[in-house]
């Protein structure tokens, strides 16, 4: 169970923004989708969850572990939260090889020195993900799909308890998305980690929405029975347009 109650104000003159989120995400289903337009606060909420942005006030509790509590002055650093984060552009370290990237969380200090013990395990993982001969390549030499897989392996190697994926397909060729969506779904099921996926692509919602949360102008609410509502519509897009129209957050 994940509880997020956060408030954060950005009092800029040009475009003031007020993030006010109050969510409870149950343990099952395993995957949760945050759906909403860009600028609705999805990424900000994820960054806050991961400890990369600090809210003004609020409470974040994951499986009885307090990650953030303004009232108790608790604010765990990102490195202590055990939350895996896959960035929209994957954020692979450009100066490190694929092997050094995926072992970053496990290597001692300098990622360039990968202990022998880690090497064989990493090689095995790469083979499993269809990246067998790419261990010594640099991220700039990889295709979009390969980058995504490297980013995912790297996050999983840190042994997180929760996985956050920020628009996992937006950096990819649209023609590739369909296939990679199925791949990612299979991987997530296999690793059996609670996963939150941000998207503004209706197709992603169909594929991943165990539970679904709508984001709008810095607020969010849960859509209770997406799968049931979905049956009345031809496409995911029509369905979501209707939900957005009828839901008041």
Asked if 73 interacts with another protein (CB under 8 A), we say: no
36 C-beta neighbours (distance < 10 Å), count? 24
Judged by CB under 8 A, the stretch of 46-54, 61-69, 124-132, 227-235 that binds another protein is 46-54
Token code pair at residue 182: 């199925």
d(CA 97, CA 80): 25
Residue pair 128/150 in contact (Cβ under 8 Å)? The answer is: no
Token code pair at residue 34: 């945050």
d(CA 197, CA 239): 19
Which of positions 157-216 make contact with another protein (CB under 8 A)?
158
Residue pair 58/110 in contact (Cβ under 8 Å)? The answer is: no
Instruction: Kindly tell me which of 150 and 188 has the beta carbon lying closer to another protein.
Output: 150
What angle, rounded to 10 degrees, do the helices at 144-156 and 174-191 form? 20
Asked if 55 interacts with another protein (CB under 8 A), we say: no
Judged by CB under 8 A, the stretch of 19-27, 88-96, 185-193, 234-242 that binds another protein is 88-96
Q: Which of 4, 41, 45, 51 binds another protein (CB under 8 A)?
A: 51
Q: Which of 22, 69, 104, 185 binds another protein (CB under 8 A)?
A: 104
* Residues paired with residue 22 on neighbouring β-strands, in sequence order: 5
Asked if 17 interacts with another protein (CB under 8 A), we say: no
Through-space distance between the first and last CA atoms of the chain, rounded to whole angstroms: 22
Coil vs helix vs strand at 70: coil
CB 60 to another protein: min, Å = 15
CA–chain centroid gap for 80, Å, is 17
CB 147 to another protein: min, Å = 13
Instruction: Kindly tell me which of 81 and 230 has the beta carbon lying closer to another protein.
Output: 81
d(CA 212, CA 215): 10
Judged by CB under 8 A, the stretch of 14-22, 106-114, 183-191, 206-214 that binds another protein is 106-114
Judged by CB under 8 A, the stretch of 109-117, 173-181, 183-191, 195-203 that binds another protein is 109-117
120-159 footprint of another protein as x/- string (CB under 8 A):
------------------xxx-------------xx--x-
Say which residue the tokens 């109050």 belong to.
22
d(CA 20, CA 6): 6
Judged by CB under 8 A, the stretch of 24-32, 44-52, 114-122, 183-191 that binds another protein is 44-52
Residue pair 102/157 in contact (Cβ under 8 Å)? The answer is: yes
Positions touching another protein (CB under 8 A) are 47, 50-52, 77-79, 81, 83-85, 87, 89, 91, 93-95, 104-105, 109-111, 138-140, 154-155, 158
């Amino acid at each position: 169970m994940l509880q997020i109650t956060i408030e954060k104000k950005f009092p800029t003159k040009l475009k003031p923004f007020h993030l006010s989120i109050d969510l409870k995400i149950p343990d099952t289903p395993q995957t949760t989708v945050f759906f909403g337009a860009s600028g609705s606060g999805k990424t900000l909420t994820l960054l806050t969850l991961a400890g990369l942005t600090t809210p003004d006030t609020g409470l974040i509790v994951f499986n009885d572990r307090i990650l953030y509590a303004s009232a108790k002055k608790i604010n765990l650093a990102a490195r202590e939260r055990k939350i895996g984060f896959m960035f929209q552009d994957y954020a692979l370290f450009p100066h490190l090889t694929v092997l050094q990237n995926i072992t970053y969380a496990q290597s001692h200090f300098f990622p360039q020195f990968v202990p022998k013990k880690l090497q064989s395990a990493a090689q095995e993982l790469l083979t499993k993900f269809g990246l067998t001969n790419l261990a010594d390549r640099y991220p700039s030499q990889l295709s979009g799909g390969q980058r995504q897989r490297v980013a995912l392996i790297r996050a999983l190697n840190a042994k997180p308890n929760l996985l956050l994926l920020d628009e996992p397909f937006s950096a990819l060729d649209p023609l590739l998305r369909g296939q990679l969506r199925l791949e990612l779904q299979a991987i997530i099921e296999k690793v059996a980690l609670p996963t939150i996926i941000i998207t503004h692509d209706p197709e992603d919602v169909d594929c991943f929405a165990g539970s679904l949360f709508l984001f709008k102008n810095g607020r969010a609410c849960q859509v209770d029975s997406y799968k049931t509502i979905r049956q009345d519509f031809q496409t995911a897009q029509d369905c979501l347009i209707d939900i957005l129209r009828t839901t008041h957050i």
